[in-house]
Structure 1
Amino acid sequence: MAETSAAGSAPASETPVSEGEIFHGAPFDLKRIRKSVFASMLESKSRYGGKRIAAIDADGREVSFNDLTKAAFALGHALKAGTEPGEAIGVLLPTGAGAIISFYALTAYGRVPAMLNFTAGERALKAACRACKAKKIITAHRFIELGELEELEAELAKDHELIYLEDVRENLSLMDKIAAAVGTVLPGLVRSHPDPDSPAVYLFTSGTEGDPKGVVLSHANLLANVEQVRDHIKILPTDVLFNPLPTFHCFGLTGGVLVPIGLGVPAICHPTPLQAKTIVKRIAETKATILFATDTFMNQYARAADEGDLSSLRFAVCGAERVKDETRSALRRRFNLEIVEGYGLTEAAPVLSVNQPQNNRPGTVGQLMPGCQAKLVPVEGIDDGGQLHIKGPNIMKGYIRPTNPLALEAPEGGWHDTGDIVSIDEDGFLRIRGRVKRFAKLGGEMVSLAVVENCATSLWPDNMHAAAAIPDKRKGEQVILLTDYDKADRADLVAFARNHGISDLAIPRKIIHVDSIPVLGTGKTDYGTVQKTVEAMMAETPAPAPEPAE
């Protein structure tokens, strides 16, 4: 059974899956991306002016292109000591000027930033460093203190050299300062000139099902996505972009740092997406016009915002999870704000498709980015959709793993299997049905766990819900719903499904109440923990009574 909307009906005019059919985005000029990420930043400085503001930190500090260039050359010269070109150096910092300068400082001298997820825990961070052979980690005393990360700091220090930004700034040598001065005037004499196809950054999967995988993105991959956004979405010279997403997440790095710097618009940095009340006030104060977020965070911002707090926004770009109808309608009703939904993955640097403000089709994730190709591989039990494989200039070089450090696992033939079930309509708009792993097989039919969650959300929109599938002797699998709504009743879901023409198979066999639904640092539901929680709780409870025969 294909995924349906909460109302129960699949959209019309979806393209049937045809083995071998390839869908194409708009044409794309590859010449624009034959440079390094640092060279691209210098081009933006030349194009928009050195005094142009590149970023504004959480404390209001403004960083111009001149400031960014000078700081990157000075810091990078200090950091390169004891390392080789192409060597990975970890970056353990929140979104802000420190993270941006550190990223460009490393790339200026041909080192490769490994962006570390400080919410992932000691085991995952050490595994990430093993995968890319990072021996040094850049962080900050103030970040460790504010984040109460002293235990993590102590564990990482056992195996890695921790470099603190405050210490480096206080101890810049004369040569560091000379490099900054020369680099600001004649950058070509100081900076490195890496191959555009060489690694520019290492990012890491969440590791919820084991050790995290490293995703290797080249300079060309990252710049391709910046240029694709330039071609696809109209960004105005007067725009101001607000980014609360972490730079260890590709959406936060590319969308929140590289895109605004590449397009010459200021990026308002916020160190965490969790401070809803502070964020909506900063949006109002900075008169931000574009916001990058997820559905979960947009919901929180809408609740925290007073009238006028979000009035400066032209639109919000949401990815990482499906945008709920309730979120979209609440923002439109209260703030006249449109959400532009997109679809991305780290392996695509990350944006693969996105709606446009002037061509926004709610319920879809827009059309393919320029230069991208897609094909749908049929999946047994799913009629209107297939498993999405993608190819294009923004698709990663490959994976690296802790078990075989820096051994690149490249996508076969350049095609990456996303693991997502997708349909594409006659106008080229993509609709995400769900992860292949997030379909349950009940009585020979495929049921999307996302549909189960959508039904719960339609009934109880103010709460969070997550579905999981576990083995069932009679039907193959059974669906269990976790919810933080303590009054959720299965009978209400039964009535909702039948009133909206939704198959009974999409009704969870059991509802389990929990205090909170686990989420990752990026705001996405942590389905790995959800699955383990369901398995543990079901093992402790008696089996439900058999369902009546149909």
Structure 2
Amino acid sequence: MAEQTAADPAPEINPEPAGLAETIYSGANFNEGRIRKSVFQALLQSKGRYGGKKIAAIDADGRELSYDDLVKASFALGHALKAGTEPGEAVAILLPTGVGAIISFFAISAYGRVPAMLNFTAGDRALKSACKASKCKRIVTARRFIELGELHDLEAELARDHEMIYLEDVRENLSTMDKVAAAVGMVAPWAVRAWPSPDDAAVYLFTSGTEGEPKGVVLSHANLLANVEQVRDHIQLYPDDVVFNPMPTFHCFGLTGGVLLPLNLGIPAVCHPTPLQAKTIVKRVAETGSTILFATDTFINQYARAADQEDLKSLRMAVCGAERVKDETRTALKRNFSLEIVEGYGLTEAAPVLSVNQPENNKPGTVGQLLPGCQAKLISVNGIDEGGQLHIRGPNIMKGYIRPSAPLVLEEPNEGWHDTGDIVTIDKDGFLRIRGRVKRFAKLGGEMVSLAVVENCATSLWPDSMHAAAALPDKRKGEQIILLTTQKDADRASLVSFAKNHGVTELAIPKKIIVVDEVPVLGTGKTDYGRVQRTAEEAMATPAAPAEPEPAQ
């Protein structure tokens, strides 16, 4: 792969068209001609560009998959899976990160069907909802995965309404025609593969549901490939880089960043089936000589604790998203491993990366500058003086939402603009800083208080524990803040003292602190605020000792 040149770090600031008051912030220019193809066509082009024998992916057991292996397996499996389905029909994938998931994704895509990536940590209700939204009748999985993951109850529940397809069975029963399709595809792929429009749906992903019922996100081929090319333009990557990806492929970070990006850039993708195996992961990073690690703050903390001095020395950067990177995390990685954390910001609706810092232009505490081709505007929110509600537009922004209440009925972004629901500031150099979600502000006595600030204060005091804040109704002030923490000796007095010494409003001191064994998290590593809210509500509804007195105002 030719060396990539980083984009101009300073974004342009263009005036809003007549009739609108907000400023539009724009990333560098972006050539959309590169994305007018399907994701499978892009894979075939990568095979031709980098050579069929080049290693494309490495599985958890060390098995290496070349581009030839990947394309041949995709044609064979895809030919077997397409029987009984129609072009454009959704076929679900219930698999961990690994070559099985990668092959299944491309196999379904090769013949013009649409992969629907299911979050196996979400529970049967959420998965049934996802299948209903995408009108999915078949689910591709593996018996070994069901066995190792102890997912028999989930399997049985899904099998009531869906046809379960097991990779082991398909592999053992490949027909002569399946094998012929694979052979022909290797020499004349144009004669076998489907030819979807770049604007057709390429994947159905489902939001994490941190604040409600998950929605289906429809991303086109052009959306996914745009994000790959945007990152290529923005971050300097090298031919000898190796990407280590423990993030799930049902999450857009794991799919685009951990699979599509390296495969399209000729960089080996090292797969790991779960981000939770910290000791195994740090050893595999060393064994594979990985140079780029994808993670979240929660997981990178675990890896740092599990790693010996030599385990992470091959890494030149860790790319973190999905949640805020704590100062303590950044300092520990720098001090103990000389490892720089490059923090970014994304969401499923943006396929997923919207902004990211660059190793040579890294501003801690921010999530970097807009990717090329992205536009942003901030809409003022009553009660919030600093920043505004972020709306985004660009070639990577989804086609729209689908919901189980109206399967495959597309809810498109308004004139291409998607409301992220996040409160953001953008500085003079174009760096974005996330202040929190609109839904994660509490209104106390008429003043808006960010729950993220509450959590940051707790993290500064007790960095080795996890914390999550929730807002509950309060008769006197409108709302009250409740903090869940794993810090066994957490007390309000310490938070009051911290607030006074650091200029934090005392309104950000939680009315009650609830010590829990663990703070609920999703399979992606993000805090599960839906469960946090329910836990706080249940705890406050349970008769207990009187709440600690509030500090004097």
Return the TM-score normalized by structure 2. 0.95
- Map of 2:513 onto structure 1: 511
Give me the whole-angstrom Cα distance separating, in 2, the residues matched to 1:19 and 1:235.
38
Q: Bigger shift: 177-186 or 17-26?
A: 17-26
2:501 alignment partner in structure 1: 499
Q: Secondary structure at the match of 1:74?
A: helix
The corresponding residue for 1:261 is 263
Contact 1:318 1:339 in 2 (8 A): yes
* Helix, strand or coil at the partner of 1:386: strand
Aligned to 2:457, the other structure's residue is in SS state helix
Q: Following superposition of structure 1 onto structure 2, how do residues 448-459 of structure 1 map, counting pairs within 5 Å?
A: 448-459=450-461
Any idea what SS the aligned residue of 2:48 has?
Answer: helix
**Structure 1 segment 179-218 matched on structure 2, within 5 A:** 179-218=181-220
In the other structure, the counterpart of 2:6 is: none
Q: What's the RMSD between the two structures over aligned residues?
A: 1.4
Any conservation in 2 of the 1:19–1:378 contact (CA below 8 Å)?
no
1:421 has 2:423 as partner = yes
The amino acid of 1:180's aligned partner reads A
Counterpart of 1:49? Answer: 51
| Partner AA of 1:264 in structure 2 | G
Q: Does 1:323 align with 2:315?
A: no
Q: Is the 8 A contact 1:440 1:447 kept in 2?
A: yes
1:223-267 CA distances to partner (integer Å, 9 max, x unpaired)?
000000100001100000000000000000000000000111000
Who is 1:163 aligned against? 165
What SS does the corresponding residue of 2:361 show, helix, strand or coil?
coil
Q: Give the superposition deviation at 1:505.
A: 1.0
Structure 1: stretches of 5+ with no match in the other structure: 1-14
Q: Residue 85 in 1 paired to residue 105 in 2?
A: no
CA contact (8 A) 1:25 1:369 kept: yes
Which letter maps to 2:550? E
Cα distance, 1:209 vs structure 2: 4.6
Q: Distance in 1 between matches of 2:210 and 2:349?
A: 17
1:77 CA displacement: 0.3
Which residue among 488, 493, 503 is the counterpart of 2:490? 488
TM-score, scaled to structure 1: 0.96
Once the two structures are TM-superposed, the CA of residue 71 in structure 1 deviates from its matched residue by: 0.3
Name the residue aligned to 2:409: 407
Higher alpha-carbon deviation: 208-217 or 324-333? 208-217
Aligned to 1:7: none
Kindly indicate whether the alpha-carbon contact (under 8 Å) linking 1:124 and 1:207 is maintained by their aligned counterparts in 2. Answer: no
Equivalent pair of 2:231/2:371 in contact (CA under 8 Å): yes
Conserved? CA contact 1:19–1:376, under 8 Å: no
Secondary structure, counterpart of 1:466 in structure 2: strand
Aligned partners of 2:38 and 2:196 also within 8 Å: yes
Q: How many residues align?
A: 536
Of 25, 28, 32, which aligns to 1:26?
Answer: 28
Question: Which of 59, 62, 84 is equivalent to 1:60?
Answer: 62
Match of 1:343 in 2: 345
Q: Which amino acid letter does the alignment assign opposite residue 76 of structure 2?
A: A
- 1:510 is displaced (CA, Å) by 1.1
Within a 5 Å distance, the mapping from 1:454-493 to structure 2 comes to 454-493=456-495
What amino acid does structure 2 have at the position aligned with 1:488? A
Post-superposition offset of 1:544: 2.9
Cα distance in structure 2, aligned partners of 1:336 and 1:206: 33
- Tell me which of 202, 209, 227 is aligned to 1:225: 227
User: How much has 1:547 moved relative to structure 2?
Assistant: 3.5
Q: Deviations over 1:402-449 (max 9, x none)?
A: 011000000010000000000000000000000000000111111100
* 1:130 alignment counterpart: 132
Structure 1 CA distance for aligned equivalents of residues 23 and 210 of structure 2: 33
The aligned amino acid for 1:397 is K
Which has the higher mean CA deviation after the structures are superposed, 209-218 or 388-397? 209-218
Q: Aligned pair in 2 of structure 1 residues 198, 523: CA closer, same or farther (>3 Å)?
A: same
Matched with 2:71 is 69
State the secondary structure of the residue aligned to 2:415: helix
Match of 2:245 among 243, 246, 262: 243
Deviation at 1:206, TM superposition (A): 2.3
- Helix, strand or coil: the match of 2:28? coil
- CA displacement, residues 128-179 of structure 1 (integer Å, 9 cap, x when unaligned): 0000000000000000000000111111111000000010011001110010
Q: Secondary structure at the match of 1:230?
A: helix
Kindly provide the amino acid, as one letter, of the partner of residue 375 in structure 2: Q
Q: Are 2:512 and 2:548, in contact at CA under 8 Å, matched by a contact in 1?
A: no
- Equivalent residue letter for 1:54: A
Contact 2:135-2:408 at 8 Å conserved across structures: yes
Give the match for residue 547 of structure 2: 544
Tell whether the 8 Å contact from 2:496 to 2:551 is kept in structure 1 after alignment.
no
Flag structure 2 segments of 5+ consecutive residues without an equivalent: 1-13
Deviation, 1:79, is 0.3
Identity of aligned residues (%): 77
With a CA cutoff of 8 Å and minimum separation of 6, indicate the structure with the bigger relative contact order. Answer: 1
2:107 & 2:72 partners in 1: Cα distance? 9
